[in-house]
Chains A and B, each alone.
Chain A
Amino acid sequence: MIDWFTALQIGVAVTGGILAIVLGALGRRPSDLTMAFAGVVALLLIVQLAVTIAGPLTGNTPTGSLFEFYIYLISAIFLPIGAGFWALIDRSRWSTVILGVAQLAVAIMLYRMGQIWFIQVA
């Protein structure tokens, strides 16, 4: 895990999450903008997966449990992708809110993953 990259991911997920919840509350259907944020969050998580696989090989190892970290990471990848498919099928304002909920959940999980990698002592 790379500290600035994690901060970037959390920043994008929180921005996209709040934006989608606000737009959904205003009654907007899923748009290119709200979908794009969820897409970028998913993409960044896949980059994070690559970083996580490469990290221990180059000496960047977690202080906590790598196994627990992977459970969080793989669950997190499903969230924006799942919410995105939901938004494609159900074109209602509620899907916009769900895009937001999924991204905020990813932000919380990334925060927990940061704790496992940098702080937690297993």
Chain B
Amino acid sequence: MSEVSIPLLDLAEPSRGRLLRRRILGHRGLVIGASLLALIVLVAVLAPLLAPYDPYMQDLARRLIPPIWHRNGSWAHVLGTDSLGRDYLSRVIYGARISLLIGVSVMVISGLIGSALGLAAGYFGGRVDMAVSFIVTVRLAMPLILVALAVVATIGGSLPVVILVLGLLKWDRFAVVMRATTQQVRALEYVTAAECVGASTARIILGEILPNVTPQLVVIATIEAAHAILLEAALSFLGLGVQPPLPSWGLMIAEAKSYMFFSFWLIAIPGTALAILVLAINMIGDGIRDVSAPGRRA
């Protein structure tokens, strides 16, 4: 997501791609956000190499060791250990995998559903548009967290269930934005031109419209990924999401609840990790919006 490959064209004249690259590299928020996210992705991918211990290994003799900046901290456990004596740094590192997996999978599932609905509504208009708008209104009327909690509780909480439930519930913003953007693009001349040449509907939607609504799609994708990560954390925090012993950051905070007044770092560490990841994704989304529509910042 952070890298945009641009072919080197004419060196004498600044090409469109090069201008875009200059705009991207000149946007401080985008660069910071992308670097942060790249770092977190790297940590998640290299987790087995980076984690000093097995994140599931319990050692009741070494429970609740405070982190290194604390008076009683030790270099053996840089971020300390939890109430079961598991190394906190290793758990936080493996937790990044869960959050990223949730963010990406929910984004893909809801993105596919939402963009399909939005594109159809925006392109065909009329009855299709009415039907899609109605479905979106119905979906928006339902309290998301409550419905997700209830469904996860009846099916039984697990990582795949959380991904599926969130993915099937969170497509509304994709649909709303894709509908509006498609309506705008549809009225443009090159779409009319494609219609006149006799291009098929599928070709017009996939070849003419989709590429031109991509910036908006990417911005929504970042918002939804960040939101999905926060939702998973909230579900797991309430005990109705990812189940122990998986090191979900939300679950880690839940497990530390009874120690919060004595060992607040047990909550602060995964909480900060969550905040940094979501912040990085949001900064990328804001940055892409600024870069793709310069002059409009809201």
B is a partner of A: no
Binding site for A on B (CB under 8 A): none
